[in-house]
């Protein structure tokens, strides 16, 4: 017997936000409360979830908020969907990247996965040039899944990922990377990216009966005592993703004996 997904007030008090300059606030409503104020500065965080769960919007908000709210120039590196398409669709949430670009606070780059492999082999090339030219503090890569699939063996994929993560740390940006799947054994075997990242955020979008619901989970976040509960989130016009840290999502499934 299964009960419908529900929301209940959380009994635990919210953790105080960190104000240290060593941490980077996401600016996403409700999220920073789950990670005690923000991401560790210059860290890499993997945002995982199935298609349609909100990964691209999540990354876009992180970049936009950095530039618009915290004066931190941002760069989007897109491997699959053209960045022009991404930015066009983000306008519905009030994220005007064109204006940020005019102010020199944002830049986007489009590459096919095989082109990025070459750039990584060469030490960054145009990616680093773009980051340094605007003094970027935030970077988002959407998505790593196609990049990992370029390689014929697990060994080659792991070596390439290690090199990429080494470059990310040298670039000294606070970085979000998206990838398909929710911590599945298949993804774990083919990439292992969650082990290389400083943090892992899961965006859940499961079907229940005739509909779906959305929830966020902080699986891993180095440098802080993060929330371990499953919290609902929603898409809000003129804003984007809004997380509800004071609520929990739960469902019980019992098999009939």
pLDDT digit string, tens, across residues 113-133: 677 777 777 777 888 899 999
User: Which of 60, 63, 55, 205 lies closest to 144 in space, CA to CA?
Assistant: 55
pLDDT in tens, 203-224: 998 777 777 789 999 999 988 8
Give the pLDDT confidence of 135-187 residue by residue, as tens digits: 999 999 988 877 777 777 777 778 888 888 888 999 999 999 998 875 444 44
Would the CA dihedral through 47, 53, 54, 55 be positive or negative?
positive
pTM: 0.84
User: Does the structure show a pLDDT above 80 at 238?
Assistant: yes
Helices and strands, number each (H, E), in the chain: 10, 15
Q: Name the residue ranges covered by the structural domains of the chain.
A: 40-220
Residue 7 pLDDT > 90: no
Confidence check: pLDDT of 8 > 50? no
Give the span between the Cα atoms of 183 and 185, in whole angstroms: 7
The DSSP string of 143-211 is -HHHHHTT-SSHHHHHHHHHHHHHHHHHHT-EEEEEEESSS-HHHHHHT-HHHHSSEEEEEE--EETTE
pLDDT in tens, 55-101: 999 999 999 999 999 999 999 998 877 888 888 899 999 999 999 99
What number does CATH give the domain 40-220?
A: 3.40.50.300
Amino acid 21: pLDDT:
67
The structure tokens 């969650």 sit at 194
């Amino acid at each position: 017997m299964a009960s419908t997904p529900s929301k209940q007030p959380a009994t635990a008090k919210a953790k105080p936000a960190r104000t240290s300059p060593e941490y980077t606030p996401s600016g996403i409503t409700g999220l920073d409360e789950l990670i005690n104020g923000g991401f560790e500065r210059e860290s890499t965080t993997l945002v995982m979830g199935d298609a349609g769960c909100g990964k691209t919007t999540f990354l876009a908000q992180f970049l936009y908020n950095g530039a618009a709210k915290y004066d931190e120039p941002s760069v989007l590196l897109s491997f699959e969907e053209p960045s022009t398409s991404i930015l066009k669709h983000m306008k519905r949430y009030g994220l005007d990247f064109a204006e940020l670009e005019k102010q020199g606070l944002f830049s986007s780059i489009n590459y096919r996965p095989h082109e990025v492999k070459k750039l990584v082999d060469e030490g960054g090339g145009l990616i680093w040039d773009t980051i340094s030219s605007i003094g970027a503090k935030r970077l988002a890569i959407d998505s790593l899944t196609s990049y990992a699939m370029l390689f014929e063996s697990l060994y080659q994929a792991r070596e390439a990922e290690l090199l990429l993560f080494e470059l990310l740390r040298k670039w000294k940006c606070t970085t979000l990377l998206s990838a398909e799947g929710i911590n599945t054994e298949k993804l774990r075997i083919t990439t292992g990216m969650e082990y290389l990242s400083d943090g892992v955020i899961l965006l859940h979008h499961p079907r229940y009966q005739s509909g779906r619901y959305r929830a966020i989970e902080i699986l891993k976040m180095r440098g802080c005592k993060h929330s371990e509960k499953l919290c609902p989130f929603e898409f809000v016009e003129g804003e984007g993703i809004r997380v509800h840290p004071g609520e929990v999502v739960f469902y019980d499934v019992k098999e009939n004996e």
